[in-house]
Amino acid sequence: MHAVADSGPLSGLLPLAAAIGEAWAQEFLCDLRSRGRDPIGAWPGTVREARSRVIANLPAARQRADAALDPDSLQLLARTTYDAARRSWLANAEPDLEP
């Protein structure tokens, strides 16, 4: 699925979607730490939240790329956002050692 998107008009949006995910994770981490809490365990976000962040943060990029976001494209961008956020979170979180 990524190979098709890598060569099309969506290819320019994938790095932006990843950046949205990384920023989302950093926002979450900063919020937790500001409340004196440590990031522990699995990424708490959802693909549905990622989709909302893509819709909220990519309208200018969507117009610039001149690509209408069909449901499959939106899903790919949301998944890219989610995966980037999860990777960023896991790089900063401690494992949850409780059973």
Q: Domain count for the chain, please give it.
A: 1
Residues near 70 by beta carbon (within 8 Å), at least 6 away in sequence: none
For residue range 4-34, list pLDDT tens digits in order.
Answer: 455 566 888 999 999 999 999 999 999 999 9
Q: Which pLDDT value is given to residue 3?
A: 46
Residue 46's domain spans which residues?
15-92
In a domain, 7, yes or no: no
In a domain, 5, yes or no: no
In a domain, 4, yes or no: no
Picking from 81, 95, 79, 94, the residue whose alpha carbon sits closest to that of residue 25 is 81
The distance between the two most distant Cα atoms of the chain, rounded to a whole number of Å, is 49
93 vs 9: which has the higher pLDDT: 93
pLDDT for residue 37 is more than 80: yes
19 vs 3: which has the higher pLDDT: 19
Q: What tokens were used for 55?
A: 């819709």
Query: Rounded mean pLDDT of 30-53?
Result: 95
For residue range 50-82, list pLDDT tens digits in order.
Answer: 999 998 998 755 554 445 678 888 899 999 999
